[in-house]
Structure 1
């Protein structure tokens, strides 16, 4: 049995600024198998690597990513909200991240964020950039984005991030979904795992910290862990693999 792959959540985000090149580099140093990252779109349809739709937490600038042009976004620096030291790196464009990835050909989990809901042009641009990248899958909380992405690039694996609205017993009725991503606390339970197995869907779980006993002996439906602590999770896997 092959082990579930370990994806570094926004890079090694427990050790470096999330979604930064430093976080991605550190993730690979910590033996992550793959990288999870988030993309939003700017006002001028450029995909950028940032989690929040509002810039305030990471840059101190109160405003939506989608209301700023790339030129305006690039004037900002990211940092810590509470210490107000926004002197970190600039926000990456998706193209800049992909240029880094060409030298680090690891699996990718690209999460489409909410700014794409109102911008189909930007969604198409982002999904087209994902084509032909081996080991890449797209995830989102928003089924409509995954449905549209699947129409643009049917070959790309799509993963729905589970909410209370997801009917696990009817996953096979959602043809544009290949995989489920779920919070470990709420959903790493037999009924959900077996529902995936029964309907030939796979699972990845997030908020993994390495202390979970099931890491060493995962359920058959599990193909990945998403974590801020890739080295700890990889070490935990060694008990079985």
Structure 2
């Protein structure tokens, strides 16, 4: 199977600020993404859901309970309802009234100067609108997102559906040893279902052996999450891990961070 190259024009390791610079600003907000840009971090990682009115919004959880004390389900809220939610105050008073951004607005603001990994948040295995909506959005953006965007998910069916829409965007299956991940998908098995282009394992599952049989033999690069210790990040890079996803990009080696300088 032909693989789509993982952001081939960008230096290695690829460095992604996890949910933006989420150790310095509220996650998945414009403030977090702008902080990453100000620090010259070359890439960001974010999460997207489909809301009830059909727009793609940027948020991680199924509800806003953790970030706003609001237990309502994201996908059951309209965009107008979501825009009324303060997702900044939980982090610090200085971020009061920070709002949930539209994915479209984030892409227009930060691409192509920064590269972005978009994680599709969905548990559906059929009749899922998210892959199609995302593919259509990326197609409308054309050159802005060419070689600037990747798409990933824990859900291999979502990746398979997205790949079928032939966007030319590289895709990855995510996995980790977590109770939220089905046992049959905790060691990368979803890659066979998805037919993805690269791999996103939890960093603790990356070793010389796993990289050989998962990555090298399968001819798929790896991007590991979530790596906040610079010494661990260096070891992963030395093993050949091509991407590092971190909550603390400001602590990573300067030569990785300053790849984003001057853009």
- The two structures have a TM-score, normalised by structure 1, of 0.85
TM-align CA RMSD? 2.8
Quick one: which of 198, 201, 207 aligns to 1:189? 207
Give the alignment of 1:114-129 within 5 angstroms. Answer: 114=122, 120-129=128-137
Q: Which structure exhibits the higher relative contact order, with contacts defined as CA atoms closer than 8 Å and separated by 6 or more residues?
A: 2
Q: Which residue of structure 1 aligns with residue 114 of structure 2?
A: 106
CA distance in 2, matches of 1:172, 1:191: 18
CA distance in 1, matches of 2:92, 2:194: 46
Gap regions ≥5 residues in structure 1: none
Q: How many residues in Structure 1 have an aligned counterpart in Structure 2?
A: 235
CA distance in 1, matches of 2:127, 2:80: 19
Q: Is the 2:13–2:242 Cα contact (8 Å) retained in structure 1?
A: yes
Q: Which residue of structure 2 aligns with residue 11 of structure 1?
A: 20
Q: Is the 1:59–1:81 Cα contact (8 Å) retained in structure 2?
A: yes
Q: CA deviation at 1:42?
A: 0.6
CA distance in 1, matches of 2:206, 2:119: 21
Q: Which residue of structure 2 aligns with residue 130 of structure 1?
A: 138
Q: Secondary structure at the residue paired with 2:242?
A: strand
Residue 26 and residue 42 in structure 1: after superposition, are their counterparts in 2 closer, same or farther (change >3 A)? same
Q: Secondary structure at the residue paired with 2:72?
A: coil
CA distance in 1, matches of 2:137, 2:100: 18
Gap regions ≥5 residues in structure 2: 1-10, 178-183, 258-263
- The two structures have a TM-score, normalised by structure 2, of 0.79
Quick one: which of 146, 150, 158 aligns to 1:145? 158
